[in-house]
Amino acid sequence: MILQAIIYGIIVGVLYGLAGIGLALLFGVMRYLNLAHGSFIVIGGYLSVLFFSIWGIDPFLSIPLVMAAMFILGLIVYKLLFSPLGRFPEGQRLGNSMLITFGLILVLNNGMALLSSAEVKTITTSYSGKVFEVLGIRLPLISAAVTGVALVVIIGLHLFLYRTYFGKSIRATVQDWEGAILLGVNIDRTYLVACGISMALAGVAGSVIALIYSIGSHSGLEWLLITMVVLVFAGLGNIKEVLIAGVLLGIIEQMSGLFIGGQYRAVVALLIFVLILLLRPQGLFKR
C-alpha cells in the first residue's frame, strides 16, 4: 500500500509540476505574479473538451492545438495587460500584476460560467477507466499517459531554455534583465514570448487535468493554490526545481491520505506550506 501511494504521489506530483511550471516561468522571467494562472489552466481544459465533444479529436492529439491557441492568448494578454507595467520599478510591477490578474480572475471565471452555464466538464474516452498492473502496482492507463506527456513537455521546456539561443536570452533575463539589455537582448520580445509559453504550458496542464479530474468555471482557484504551494516549495523564480517540488507535494498528499485520512491531505500540505513560509521563505531548493 505504501509503494502504491508513492507511485500515485509521483503521478499526481508530475501533474502538479506541469501545472506550476508555466507560472514559475512567468514569475522568473518577468517578476509578474499571474494570479489568473489557474483560470488559464481551466480555459485550456475547456478547449480540450471543446475539440473532443465537437470534432471528436482525442485529448492527447488536441494538445498541440490547445498549446497554439493558448500561446496566442498569452501574446494578447501580455500586450493588453502586462506590457504597460514595464515602466514601473520591479517591486511595484509585482504588486500591480497581482491586482490586475486578480481582476482578470473575476472576468475569466464569470465569462466561462456564462458560456458553459457553470457546468462541470470532463472528458470520457474509450480508454477511460482502463488499468494495467506492473509488479503488483495497479496504474490507470490515463494517469500513466498523462505522466508521460507532462515529462515530455517539461523536458522539452528544459531543452528549449538550455539548448536554444532564445532560451539563453530568457535565462539571461531571469538572472539580470539590465545586463541582458546591455548585451543586446530584446527584453520586450523576450517577455512577450515567455508569456505566450507560460499560457501554452497552462493549456497543456488544463488538457490533461480534464482527463483525470472534472473542471468547472471556478476550478481555477483550486489549481492556483496548488501551483502557489509548488512555487513556494521550489522557491520563487526557480524553474528547474518545480517538477521536484510538485512530486514532493504529491507524495506528501498521498502519504498523509494513507496514514491520516483522505480528507486531511490538503490540510497537511497547507501546514507544510505555512511552515516553509515561516522557516525557509526562499524555498526548499533556493541557494
* Amino acid 42: pLDDT: 93
Contact by Cβ (8 Å): 225, 269: no
Q: How far apart are CA 202 and CA 185, in angstroms?
A: 26
* Amino acid 258: pLDDT: 78
What residues have CB less than 8 Å from 142, skipping those under 6 apart?
125, 127, 128, 130, 211, 212
* Amino acid 50: pLDDT: 92
Look at the pTM and tell me if it is higher than 0.85.
yes
* Amino acid 262: pLDDT: 67
What residues have CB less than 8 Å from 89, skipping those under 6 apart?
none
Q: Which residues of 55-94 are buried (b: 16+ CB within 10 A; e: fewer)?
A: eebebbebbebbbebbbebbeebbeebbeebeeeeeeebb
pLDDT in tens, 224-262: 989 988 988 888 767 778 888 999 998 888 888 777 876
Q: Which residues on neighbouring strands pair with residue 139, listed in sequence order?
A: 132
* Average pLDDT value over all residues in the chain: 87
* Residue 26 confidence (pLDDT) above 70: yes
pLDDT in tens, 119-177: 788 888 888 878 887 777 788 888 889 899 999 998 999 899 989 988 998 888 888 87
Q: Which domains does the chain have, with CATH numbers?
A: 2-118+128-279 (1.10.3470)
Q: How far apart are CA 170 and CA 187, in angstroms?
A: 9
Q: Is 14 helix (H, G, I), strand (E, B) or coil?
A: helix
Q: How far apart are CA 116 and CA 42, in angstroms?
A: 12
Helices (H), the chain: 2-30, 37-55, 63-77, 90-116, 141-163, 165-175, 177-182, 187-212, 220-234, 242-259, 265-279
* Amino acid 286: pLDDT: 63
Q: Phi/psi at 119 (nearest 5 deg)?
A: -80, 145
Contact by Cβ (8 Å): 67, 134: no
Q: If you average pLDDT over each of 69-73, 93-97, 257-261, which comes out highest?
A: 69-73
pLDDT class for 269, splitting at 50, 70, 90? confident
